[in-house]
Structure 1
Amino acid sequence: MIPAHSFAKRGMEMANHAFSMKQQADEPDVHQIPPLAALIFLLTCVAFFVLLAAISYTYGHLITTLCMVESSSSNAYVPIHSVEPAEDAPPAYTEDGVPKPNDAEVNIVRTQPITASLRATILHLTAKAGFWARLRGLSVYFVWNFARSIVVGMLSAASSNPFGMMIAAIIAEILLANLHMTWIHVIISEPSPKKWYQRIPTPFFKTWKKIVPAVAVWAVTSQVVTILPMLVTGTFGPMRHMQDPNYDPGMKEAYATAGQLFFAMFLTIALVVLLQIPATVAMVRVAASMLPEEDETIVPFDRTFGGLTTPEIIGGQGKIGIVEAWRSFNWECRRRLLRTVLKVAVIMMATWILFTTVALIEAHLLFGPAFGEMMKSMHGVANRGS
């Protein structure tokens, strides 16, 4: 991960280099970028990227993972006198037909799943674990992703081939399977006095062997969803000739390219729905089935998966299989997850549109005529560098 200030420094160097070349050529109307304006613009970009990252983590990772774990419905058992009746609700009756308004007998009140609503999920998390519960598990998430980037970098250092990168990413996920499972355990369970590194499952190799098949399937599908649309789209039409320096596309080719990009987008969506989501659900639920007995889940969760799992103490594996993990996630749960994913996509898209609009308006107000010159200069320097 490259720090934001490195991008800013590189961008300013490119812009200053381009402007100095124009000054040497005695070209008129060279616009200087005010340092304060550049700083304000940079801080705005950093703030929006932090906001996008927080939204992505809370809604795209944390809540969707809880949605994959939560049971389709939960039963809340409360005394009848603690429930505020509606004004037009009839009184409770005994078997003899005699009203009993003060009876403290326990009734069953069926409620919808917590993760059916994004707002309800956030309120539930903050009530259980405080305001920062929306970022719970962030430390182990950073460690896991940092370790993964190091492993991928080491394995793919000798090759820039996309397939080599894909294989390196899959191997990295398999090697770090226990760390991935630790992150899942941290976010689906109630607050624990233990540090995250104290919650890494033990014995290490034994638990790794149990979780690695599900992680391997998830890693492969993730790479297929990322690579396959680009590979397929690049085998036909104008995009097949994009690497040809002598290729001179016209308006017809521009329309065809736009059509190919839409095809790539729909292919990606189809692969996400048909491959990545089922693989992710199976992997998360397999990891959840291995949650230690002393840890309570923060959302309602059936540890037995309808009787499909058997504890190790009585001779079972102590986990659920990949196929059973997906099958136990019924259609009601699947629809709830798809609705959650759609809501998250809309939130991310709206945030990105807001960021783009604010950035463009701010750039024009802060830089004025220098904005266009800066973009042209940076584009020219980038082309010479490549």
Structure 2
Amino acid sequence: MSSAAISAAAHHLVKRAVSGVPQAISIAGQPKNGDDSKEASPVVLAVLVATMLAGALAMGALHYTLGMVVPALAIVEDSQPAVYVPIDGEDDDGVPKNTPGSATDLEGTGPQGPITAKIRTTLKHLRARGGFWAPFRGLAVFIFYFFCRGILISIFSLGASYSHIFARALATIAADVALTALSVTWIHTVISEPSANARVFWKRIPAFRTWKKVVPAVALQSVASHIAFLVPLYLGIALHSFRMDDDSLTKLPQLGKPSAGTAAGSVGIFLLTLALTVLIDIPASVALVRVAASALSPDVDTIVPFDRTFNGKVGPAILGGGCLGLLEAWKGFTWPSRVRLMKLLAKYFAISVAVGAAFVVIFAAEIISFSTKTKLVDGKN
């Protein structure tokens, strides 16, 4: 999905950092020193598995909220709204929701700047409008999309193994295009007021005449995302920084003895991936979100200030207006908005790396601690 592609660089980096965790659990449970009777206790394995699951949930929550929802809102928010008055401005008892100093006082509005200028103000705004779980808005749509996408990729790839990267890339692009309606539904769910999301998501899927206009944007974003991934990957294979097999998409060779050339090549590949993400992937993702947002029904209120006309580029549907064009979607995304989005992504990158590294350290400490205790017990016996 579009905003997921925006955060791909951080996601792949953290995924690489924690990719050895399952192997570590397997090693922890294997016999040592030739004594086949020595095995890790169920308690040890339970603690390790619980740590791994906690880390996966934490990283998943960060990826969805800070890597997908917050960027999507930043992409559509008007940097300089004329007036933004949230609907339902009063509670049932007549007390205004947005009084200064109250729990729902929205920072970042009006003269203070955009709501999405900071992660904290964005999350605070979402919870003020939709409750504690509002940062996870659209999660049901995303999960359904995720499973449907996996099924379609398996069908379209015709059984191609992971080593057949190009075939699976084409299958993924085809799956993304086939699921355009769900992509549009997710974007509309994220940017809409909670009152617009009261119905189950399959009843909110837009009509074919609406989402078919977004198909070119979905195709462009999917192709751009694969270019940003495949070009560095093939370069890494050529430089022997990666190798392929049928069990895994990529494997780093000789991790214990990296050469200077391998290290330099890995750094170069990372920088190339980052450059392609910033120059190709992010603009395509921005265009997709804005094109899909322009197809939002005019009677649906949005949760952030949103210029429905996109600076006059889109007229009302009743007057013959339609979706925003791809080029206009990116060109209309102002430089202040681009800087704001990049700052959010940089913060998400830093937070993800920090949290991922923390869980790796905790997991490694548990492994060392359990191993030490096992040796002490064996020594006493």
TM-score (norm 2): 0.78
Q: How big is the alpha-carbon RMSD for the aligned residues of Structure 1 and Structure 2?
A: 3.1
The residue identity in structure 2 corresponding to 1:306 is N
CA distance in 1, matches of 2:255, 2:297: 62
Structure 2 counterpart of 1:59, from 53, 66, 71: 66
CA distance in 1, matches of 2:293, 2:45: 47
Task: Go from structure 1 to structure 2 and tell me whether the alpha carbon gap of 1:361 and 1:77 turns closer, same or farther (over 3 Å shift).
Answer: closer
Structure 2 counterpart of 1:207, from 206, 210, 214: 210
Task: Go from structure 1 to structure 2 and tell me whether the alpha carbon gap of 1:57 and 1:338 turns closer, same or farther (over 3 Å shift).
Answer: same
Task: Go from structure 1 to structure 2 and tell me whether the alpha carbon gap of 1:155 and 1:111 turns closer, same or farther (over 3 Å shift).
Answer: same
Q: Is the 8 A contact 1:66 1:188 kept in 2?
A: yes
Q: Is the 8 A contact 1:214 1:286 kept in 2?
A: yes
Task: Go from structure 1 to structure 2 and tell me whether the alpha carbon gap of 1:29 and 1:154 turns closer, same or farther (over 3 Å shift).
Answer: closer
The residue identity in structure 1 corresponding to 2:306 is F
CA distance in 2, matches of 1:58, 1:249: 36
CA distance in 1, matches of 2:372, 2:217: 54
The residue identity in structure 2 corresponding to 1:162 is I
The 5-angstrom pairing of residues 345-356 of structure 1 reads: 345-356=349-360
**Per-residue Cα deviation, 1:226-281 (whole angstroms, up to 9, x for no partner):** 11101012223x448899xxxx9999971100111101100000000000010000
CA distance in 1, matches of 2:255, 2:303: 57
Q: Is the 8 A contact 1:72 1:333 kept in 2?
A: yes
Structure 2 counterpart of 1:304, from 282, 288, 309: 309
Give the superposition deviation at 1:12: 7.3
The 5-angstrom pairing of residues 206-355 of structure 1 reads: 206-236=209-239, 238-239=240-241, 254-316=259-321, 318-355=322-359
CA distance in 1, matches of 2:225, 2:296: 24
**Per-residue Cα deviation, 1:199-224 (whole angstroms, up to 9, x for no partner):** 1001x2x2232010000000001111
CA distance in 2, matches of 1:240, 1:351: 26
1:74 corresponding residue in structure 2: 81
Give secondary structure in 2 for the equivalent of 1:351.
helix
Q: Is the 8 A contact 1:173 1:215 kept in 2?
A: yes
Give the superposition deviation at 1:154: 1.2
Task: Go from structure 1 to structure 2 and tell me whether the alpha carbon gap of 1:44 and 1:162 turns closer, same or farther (over 3 Å shift).
Answer: same
**Per-residue Cα deviation, 1:134-163 (whole angstroms, up to 9, x for no partner):** 111100000011100000011113322110
2:167 corresponding residue in structure 1: 164
Identity within the alignment, %: 37
Give secondary structure in 1 for the equivalent of 2:260.
helix
Give the superposition deviation at 1:353: 1.0
CA distance in 2, matches of 1:28, 1:187: 56
Structure 2 counterpart of 1:361, from 365, 369, 378: 365
The 5-angstrom pairing of residues 127-146 of structure 1 reads: 127-146=128-147
Give the superposition deviation at 1:282: 0.3
Work out whether 1:37 is the aligned partner of 2:44.
yes
- Equivalent pairs, count: 325
CA distance in 2, matches of 1:319, 1:157: 34
CA distance in 2, matches of 1:116, 1:295: 24
Task: Go from structure 1 to structure 2 and tell me whether the alpha carbon gap of 1:250 and 1:264 turns closer, same or farther (over 3 Å shift).
Answer: closer
Give the superposition deviation at 1:312: 2.5
TM-score (norm 1): 0.77
Name stretches of at least 5 consecutive residues in structure 2 with no aligned partner: 1-19, 86-97, 101-108, 246-252, 376-381
Give the superposition deviation at 1:11: 8.3
